[in-house]
Each structure stands twice: as structure tokens, then as C-alpha cells.
Structure 1
Amino acid sequence: MPPENSSQCATEENYSGNQKKSEKLELKKTIGLLNGVTLIVGSMIGSGIFISPSGVFLKTGSIGSALIIWFLCGIYSLIGAYCYAELGCMIKRSSGDYAYVYEAFGPIMGFIRLWVDVLVTRPCSIAIVSLTFAQYFLEPFYYLCDQPLLAKQLLAAGCILIITFVNCWSVKASTRVQDICTYAKVSALIIIIMTGIVKLGMGYTINWESPFEGTTTNAGDMTMAFYTGLFAYTGWSYLNCMVEEMKDPVKDMPRAIFISCGLVTLIYVLANVSYFTILSKSEIFESNALAVRIGYQMYGVMWWIIPLFVALSTFGGVNGTILTTSRIFLVAAQIDQMPKCLAMINTKFSTPIPSVLFVAIVSLGYLLFPDIFTLMNYVGFVTWLTFGLAVLSLIYFRIKWKKVERPIRVNIVFPIIYLAVTVFLIIFAFIGGPFESMMGTLIMMSAIPVYWICVLWKRKPKRFNRMLESINISVQKMFMVILPAMPEKAM
């Protein structure tokens, strides 16, 4: 991906003292197949499966239709991930769909995609998952009582700050955290699934006697239920944001995608079967902390295992999102679409400390919005719209870049199916959630004046340029970071 302005800031040599040192500095290739699987699974299984079932059931109106929604969300996500496998192996540049949209549709569309990530999708997702961490942590202390909002916000902030420290310290440490949290969250869901199977075997089938009774016929409600379910699958694209740090992306990326998406879909459907078997419909409506409620009802003195595992699950979800989001901002800064200081890497730890801190600061701001379901709908519209743009870029590359090597070649039917469903979702999102959809559109459009002022306007006042240079020097000195050499063109 060629930069709009390939010149590096003048302070690099001044602070590093050695130009060759910056040329050798780069992100380390430490991610193998297992790390790729745990990164995707750990990012997908964050908070959604523990809070989304209530929202999906509320919108669909029946157990049967809710299960169908969960299965279709998994298939839709798998198709999108399959398309991303071709893009990731063709454009080997961290930042995922931002790089694909930039290459296909130009700098301004790339910036709009970036702007959505900066303001909404990634930091909002981090806030949601961290709030869920706090909710499950507090649930044993406030069972059947309202949790203090301030306590939830402070715990969520603590979660974000701890993960930020880990990601600033070591990529290897953050991937180890991801591995441990992934094993914990899968274990929690397996416990819940096995409990549901036992209950079914004992004859607890009252909720399954009329599974489709009460199904809504409102297309807008069904679409919003689909969005709520898709929130639980968010994370299937995160490995693409780490492609420069993969040991063998061509071999490992597609395998990691298929293993992860298939496993998560199976786990999600079976977990919902267990929820609907163990809990009554009224209990599902009343509580967002479904797993903790099951723990209280089924596990006696060992009830604390479930909230502990769920807390680890959401902790890992925050880790995966911060880890991958920081790479998007790093690449954007390298091509001059974000402040140059965000492209800098620590000389000792080889971690992008400024971009990690930037992600954390924006995410902390979203903790002021405590309504989780509103945030999910808010994220849903812009997230899946931008995913659709990335998949559309695959078709564009097929037409314009016919001779480019493609280690993986997806059947063209899959991106067409994905785009058709995406268009349907976008249209009916305005019916089911017009306010959230309109706000998402306004945020995307607000990127245009920002792009003109911050990117296109080259002849900025000298005082402003001196201020930016001063900020860059201060960031370099404070965090011991320098600008690495630009990676070779991705194509």
C-alpha cells in the first residue's frame, strides 16, 4: 500500500540517533496456527454469547426462530471470513479491511472506513465487552439486584487499563493472555452445554413443546435480531489485522478461519439450546447475565465457576480487540491518514505503544454509555456496512487485478451472497433501528470534512506543524519509540 506522503517526520533521526536502527525495527512474526485460532475464537467469544441471547429472543419472539438466527449468523460470518482469507493472503498488510478498502476505492473511502473504526466500531466493542466483564464480575454480589452503574464503569475501565499495559509490554504476553482466556471461555460454554444436554435427557422440554410460538412477522425486528446475533460473531476478521505478524499467513490463515468459525457456530447454537432448556422464557427476558443465573440454579456451592470463566472470556475479548485495533491505527499512521506518532514502535519491546494507548483512551470514553443493547445496534449497522465494502473490494480486485497472484481463490458466488445479505441488512436496519442507522451514517459522513482538513490540506500554518513536531518528539521521548522503515508494498 503506497503512502500518500512517504516522508518520515524530521524528528526520527534526531531522537533515534541512528537511522539504521529504525530500519531494523519491525513487528515480530510470532503468530502460528494455534495462536491464530485462539485469536479468532478468543475475539469472537467475548461477551456476545452471554448477553446477546436475551436480545435475539426479545426481537424474534420465539425459541425456534432465535436458534435459526444464531445458525444463519454463523454461516454469514463464515462466508465473510472465507472472502477475507483471499484478501488477507493477497494483500499481506496488517489493518485488515481498512487496507482492502483503501487499495480498492482510494484514500478517501479508506479514511471513511478508518474514521468509523476510530469513532465507533472498535472502541465501542471494547466498551461493550469490558462492561460485560464488570457485569459478570459484580453479578454474584448483586444477584437479583440492580448493579451500581459507577462500579460497573470503574471495573470496565480497570479491565481496559490492564489489557493496555499487557499490549504495550509484549505481543507474546498478549497472545498468551488470549490463549488462556480462550481456553477458559470455551470451558465455561462446554459446562453450560453439557448441563443443558443432561437436563434434556431428564425430560426438561417444556420450552421446546411449541418452539416457534410467538415468532414475530416484523422484518425490521428480525433484522435487528440478526444484528444482535452478529455482534456475538464479531471478531472473525481480526486475524487479518495481524497478517504481518503471522509466520505463514498463506498456510495458516484459511485453516484458522475455518476451524474458528465452525467451532464458534457449533458452540453458540448448542449454548442457546442449553439456555432455553434450563431457563424459563421470563428468566431469559429478565437477565443479561444468563450464564450466572444458570450457575446459581444448577451448580450449588460451585456456582462461582461460571462468572469466573465468563469474566476471563470477556477479558480475552477486550485483549483481542485492543491487540488488533492498534495495528489498524499503526498502518493508517504509516500512510499519513493518522498522526505520525501512532506509527511509532517501542525500541525495546517492539510494540506500537502510542497506537495501543490511543485505542484505550477512545474506548474509555464509550464507558459513559451504559446501555449495552443500544451500543450493539449502534455498532451493528456501521460494522456490517464496512465489512460489505471490504468484500466488494474482492470483486473489484478480480476485475482490475487479474494478473495478481492469489494463493487462495474464493468462488465468486460467496462474495455475491455475502453482499446480497449485507444490502438486505442495511435496508431493513433503517426500518428496525432508524435512529441508530442514521447516527451511523452521520458519523461516516463526518469523515469527509475531517479528511479534507487533516489529510488533503497540506499547507497548514507553520505554528500548527511545529506543534505536531513537538508532539511527535514528546511521544518519542516519553515512550522510547521511533518510526520503523515502511514495509514493502503489499502487492
Structure 2
Amino acid sequence: MTKVSVAEGLTPKAMDVGESGVSEEGESTEGVRLNKELSLMNGVAIIVGVIVGSGIFVSPNLLLEQAGSKGMALIVWVLSGFLSMIGALCYAELGTMIPKSGGDYAYIGEAFGNLPAFLYLWVALFVLVPTGNAITAITFAQNILKPLWPACDVPKNAVSLIAAVITCFLTALNCYNVKWVTRVQDSFTAAKILALLVTFFGSLVYLFAVDMGNLKNMMEGTITDPGHIAIAFYNGLFSYSGWNYLNFVTEELKDPYKNLPRAICISMPVVTLVYALTNVAYFAVLTKPEILASEAVAVAFSDKILGVMSWIMPVFVALCTFGSLNGAIYTSSRLFFVGARNGHLPLAISLIDVKRLTPVPSLIFMCLVTLLLLLFNDVGSLMVYVSAVEAIFLFCSVAGLLWLRYKQPNKKRPIKVILLLPITFLIVCTFLIVFSCITRPVAVGAGIGFIAVGAIVYCVFFMWKHKPRWMVSFCDNFNLVCSKLFLSLPESSKEL
């Protein structure tokens, strides 16, 4: 039996971001630590695998509704990919300059200090990550069950049950073995790209053999109102969300200075091209009213061109969302692990399984929050809510890049993007945030309100230095129980 001591690193200690017991290259200096097991192709598979998930199958009708025309919708899809590429290149500079896991949390903390970093962690913990995972799990469940209810809607209870089961299964897989996780990710990434290419070539057959009328008058009905365009971009950007997830696991990436930017430069053009081709396929086969009336555009697409074999498309969608959820669970758990390691979450979340070297408590905690969010099923509102909050913190991260260039001009930067890229990204983010506040004030206001609550939590739990003795004792006992329960130790500790 593994012995654990409170004195061996289990006493909670608030630490500044960056003072995490890791070297400047992002490696732990001693004891239990996460292994560097991710190659370049693993990195590409994680980015593509996380991005290509539920969004491409649930966003097209929501985006078309805001854009007004197929032509404008296609423009938004391509520009969303271009904007994501700009953001990813900015994050390549940040990730190679600050080679620590945690992504935005590490970058915002380095640039602006503990409070902004905690606010990102707070929002990611309860909004960004679990909501995105819940949407992906729900999409998986809806599509895997659709062949059983071909003529009607799938019962919500069945969807919630299957979504919960798949979330728990992938969490268990992530707890058990990192190599299995990367093998699953590589396999399903290849499968989902193949599925989307089959969709495109199937549409070409339909286009030339049956009807080309759906691609005529592509700009008819275009909406130019800035508020609607902003919401359309939110729906598009939600489908590209995940482009920064490899930055969450920088410490586990082999040769991050080379492989992080290479993975970004390979994966983002691939995703943008695949998304554009997939939407052309949808627009070629389905009329505008058919797309707007369908909650699952891919299913309507398959019903029209595959006939009795239409059940194949829901299976393809399930494959895509399965891989996406797997990648999101793997990468985002490292974010909370790093936050706890730096003293901004209970220390128990930063514990590492001494046998498997995986952050088991962080994975289980994230799974529990995701299961709670599966109770909500308004995907459209959730997308705007999540994307608006995320845009605020993406703005902060890229603004931090500019601030660090001024604050630390001599810091080593293996990659340095041209100044135009971060400035363009900040201008577009500002546009999206301002005009979405006008169009969807409730959703955006709720997100901003939740950020404000996080500031109060920070003041109570982290700025209050003289806490009651019972509170300190409770935290120590909770951390010790979790350590014994999961046979886990803090990263800087040694197995006894």
C-alpha cells in the first residue's frame, strides 16, 4: 500500500502563477510528474480531434439563421477558421514563450497576475469546459440513438443517460492510461476526417446527377446587421473551439518549441478546408428552409441522399463527437490540474496517480460538473453564452501577448508573430463582444455576471489570509482523504 503524509506536500499553499515546482522548460524537477508522451502527430490529432466535434453538426442551421443566406454563412465559416488560425498563431508564440500546461490560465497569469488568471480558471471550470463537453456528449447520444427512433425525436431521458455513460467511460479511460487516450484520439480523428470527406463527395454526386438549384442565388436574404453577424460568428467560432487546447498540455508535448507551432500550422488549415467543404455539401443538397428546420443538419442531409442507408450519417457524427469529447477531457483536465497546483483550486485536484501518472482527481471532478450540466439542453443559447465568455478571455490572452512584449522584451521567444496578427484578433474580438451584448444581452450578461461572482470567490478564499481554524483543518483533511482514496500524490512529492 502506498503511504501518504500530509507533510509531504499535502498542505494547501497559495502560489503565484509560474511558481509551480516546474522548470523553465515546463518539466517537473523531481518526484511524481506527468510524462512527455505526445508526439507531433498526437498534437495534430488532439487539435483536429477536439475541434471537429459537435459544432459542425449542430451549428449550420443556427449560423444560417443569423447570416440570412447560404453565401454569407459560408463566408462566416471561412472567416471563423481564418480568425481561429490567427488566434492559434498568437498562442504558438505564447506557448513557446511560456512552455507550461494550462493554456490561457498560464498566459493571463504571467501577464496580468493572479486575479485575472483565477477568473479564467473559475469560468473554465464551471462554464467553458463542462458546457462544451456536455454539448458534445448530448450530440453523440442524439446521433447514436437516432437510428432507433428514425421517425421521431429521441427521448430526452435516453439522450441524457447515454451522454452521461459516454462521459464517465471516457473519463475512466483518461484516468487509466494516456497512451490509450492518444491511440483513441488518433484513430477517431482519421475516421471523422474520412466521414466529412465522404459527405462532401456524396454531395458532388447528388449535385451533378440530380439538382444544382440549391447553389443558385447564394447571397439571397443576406443579413448585414452587425449584431446578427456577431452571433453568426459565435456559432462559427464555437465549431472551431478547441484550437488552443494543445496549449493546455504543453508540458506533456515532446519538443514543444517545434511541435506546438507545427501542430497548429498543420491542423488549422485542414479543419478550415474540411468545414468549408462540409458546408458546401450541406448547401448543395438541402434548401435553406430544410437547413433551418433541422436540429441535426447531417441527419437531414443523409436522409436526402442515402435513403435506406441514411443511418450511416448518425454513426459518423457519433464517431466525430466521441473523439472530440475524448480529446477535450484529456486536455482540459490538465488546466484544472495546473490551477490546483498553483493554489487556485483545492490541492486534491492537483494530485497524480502514483501508478498511472494521470491527474485522476482533476478528471473525476470535471466529470461530475459535466454530468450536472447535462440536465440543460438548449444548445443554441449555450453556444452564445459559452462563446461570449470565451471571447472575453481570448481577448485577455492575446492582449497579454502584447503586454509581455512591452513588459519583458528580452524574454526568449522561439516564435514571434507579426504585430498585425494580435491587433487584428483583438479588434475582431472587441466587435464580437460589443455587438453580441446588444443582440443577446441576457446570455452575455449572465456570463459577465458569473465572472463577477468569481472575483468575490477569489477575495473570500484566496485574499483572506486569516481563515478560521476549522476551515483550514477541513481543507487538509479533504486533501488527505482524496490522496488516500485515489492513491495519488502532488507533482513535487515522491512516492513513499
TM interval, short-chain normalised: over 0.9
Q: Write the distance in 1 (CA, Å) between the matches of 2:440 and 2:211.
A: 36
Please give the residue correspondences for 1:268-283 in structure 2 after superposition, counting only pairs within 5 Å: 268-283=275-290
Q: Which amino acid aligns with 1:32?
A: S
Residue 93 of structure 2 corresponds to which residue in structure 1? 86
SS at 2:100 equivalent: coil
Q: CA deviation at 1:303?
A: 2.7
Q: Which amino acid aligns with 2:293?
A: E
Q: Write the distance in 2 (CA, Å) between the matches of 1:157 and 1:9.
A: 35
Residue 125 of structure 1 corresponds to which residue in structure 2? 132
The answer on 1:114 being equivalent to 2:124 is no
Specify which of 237, 257, 262 is matched with residue 264 of structure 2.
Answer: 257
SS at 1:405 equivalent: coil
Q: CA deviation at 1:175?
A: 1.2
Task: Give the CA RMSD over aligned residues.
Answer: 1.7
Residue 74 of structure 1 corresponds to which residue in structure 2? 81
Specify which of 409, 412, 418 is matched with residue 402 of structure 1.
Answer: 409
Q: CA deviation at 1:22?
A: 10
Q: Write the distance in 1 (CA, Å) between the matches of 2:142 and 2:302.
A: 15
Residue 14 of structure 2 corresponds to which residue in structure 1? none
TM-score (norm 1): 0.94
Residue 339 of structure 2 corresponds to which residue in structure 1? 332
Specify which of 366, 377, 380 is matched with residue 387 of structure 2.
Answer: 380
CA contact (8 A) 2:128 2:390 kept: yes
CA contact (8 A) 1:22 1:484 kept: no
Q: CA deviation at 1:9?
A: 8.6
Q: Write the distance in 2 (CA, Å) between the matches of 1:157 and 1:216.
A: 38
Please give the residue correspondences for 1:444-455 in structure 2 after superposition, counting only pairs within 5 Å: 444-455=451-462
SS at 1:68 equivalent: helix
CA contact (8 A) 2:45 2:185 kept: yes
Q: Write the distance in 2 (CA, Å) between the matches of 1:400 and 1:306.
A: 51
Q: Once the two structures are superposed, what CA deviation does each residue of 1:166-204 show, in whole Å capped at 9, x if it has no partner?
A: 111111111111112111211110110111122233362
Specify which of 213, 217, 228 is matched with residue 220 of structure 2.
Answer: 213
Q: Which amino acid aligns with 1:317?
A: S
Number of residue-to-residue matches in the alignment: 474
Q: Write the distance in 2 (CA, Å) between the matches of 1:386 and 1:320.
A: 21
Q: CA deviation at 1:348?
A: 0.3
- Structure 1 pair 13/111, CA: closer, same or farther in 2 (3 Å)? closer
CA contact (8 A) 1:9 1:469 kept: no
Specify which of 282, 295, 299 is matched with residue 306 of structure 2.
Answer: 299
Please give the residue correspondences for 1:94-109 in structure 2 after superposition, counting only pairs within 5 Å: 94-109=101-116
Please give the residue correspondences for 1:437-476 in structure 2 after superposition, counting only pairs within 5 Å: 437-476=444-483
Q: Which runs of 4+ in 1 moved over 4 A?
A: none
Residue 153 of structure 2 corresponds to which residue in structure 1? 146
Residue 22 of structure 2 corresponds to which residue in structure 1? none
Q: Write the distance in 2 (CA, Å) between the matches of 1:484 and 1:281.
A: 54
SS at 1:446 equivalent: helix
CA contact (8 A) 2:81 2:268 kept: yes
CA contact (8 A) 1:45 1:185 kept: yes
Residue 32 of structure 1 corresponds to which residue in structure 2? 39
In structure 2, runs of 5+ residues without a counterpart are 12-27
CA contact (8 A) 2:10 2:490 kept: no
TM-score (norm 2): 0.93
- Structure 1 pair 66/13, CA: closer, same or farther in 2 (3 Å)? closer
Q: CA deviation at 1:10?
A: 3.1
Q: CA deviation at 1:458?
A: 2.2
Specify which of 310, 315, 325 is matched with residue 322 of structure 2.
Answer: 315
Q: Once structures 1 and 2 are overlaid, which stretch shifts more, 423-432 or 74-83?
A: 423-432
Q: Write the distance in 1 (CA, Å) between the matches of 2:157 and 2:224.
A: 39
Q: CA deviation at 1:13?
A: 6.5
Q: Write the distance in 2 (CA, Å) between the matches of 1:126 and 1:427.
A: 27
Q: Once structures 1 and 2 are overlaid, which stretch shifts more, 306-315 or 374-383?
A: 306-315
Q: Write the distance in 1 (CA, Å) between the matches of 2:8 and 2:312.
A: 50
The answer on 1:414 being equivalent to 2:421 is yes
CA contact (8 A) 1:22 1:482 kept: no
Residue 235 of structure 1 corresponds to which residue in structure 2? 242
Percent same amino acid among aligned pairs? 43
Q: Write the distance in 1 (CA, Å) between the matches of 2:346 and 2:175.
A: 18
Q: Write the distance in 1 (CA, Å) between the matches of 2:101 and 2:246.
A: 9
Residue 432 of structure 2 corresponds to which residue in structure 1? 425
The answer on 1:246 being equivalent to 2:242 is no
Q: Write the distance in 2 (CA, Å) between the matches of 1:62 and 1:171.
A: 44
Q: CA deviation at 1:161?
A: 0.4
Q: Write the distance in 2 (CA, Å) between the matches of 1:215 and 1:306.
A: 29
Q: Which amino acid aligns with 1:10?
A: V
Q: Which amino acid aligns with 1:117?
A: A
Q: Write the distance in 2 (CA, Å) between the matches of 1:226 and 1:132.
A: 21
Q: Which amino acid aligns with 2:447?
A: G
Specify which of 2, 7, 10 is matched with residue 6 of structure 2.
Answer: 10
Q: Write the distance in 1 (CA, Å) between the matches of 2:466 and 2:169.
A: 40
Q: Once the two structures are superposed, what CA deviation does each residue of 1:105-136 show, in whole Å capped at 9, x if it has no partner?
A: 01001111111101111111001111111111
Q: Write the distance in 2 (CA, Å) between the matches of 1:9 and 1:103.
A: 32
Q: Which amino acid aligns with 2:455?
A: I
Specify which of 180, 183, 191 is matched with residue 176 of structure 1.
Answer: 183
Q: Write the distance in 1 (CA, Å) between the matches of 2:5 and 2:456.
A: 24
CA contact (8 A) 1:9 1:340 kept: no
CA contact (8 A) 2:214 2:285 kept: no
SS at 2:217 equivalent: coil
Q: CA deviation at 1:299?
A: 2.5
- Structure 1 pair 275/9, CA: closer, same or farther in 2 (3 Å)? farther
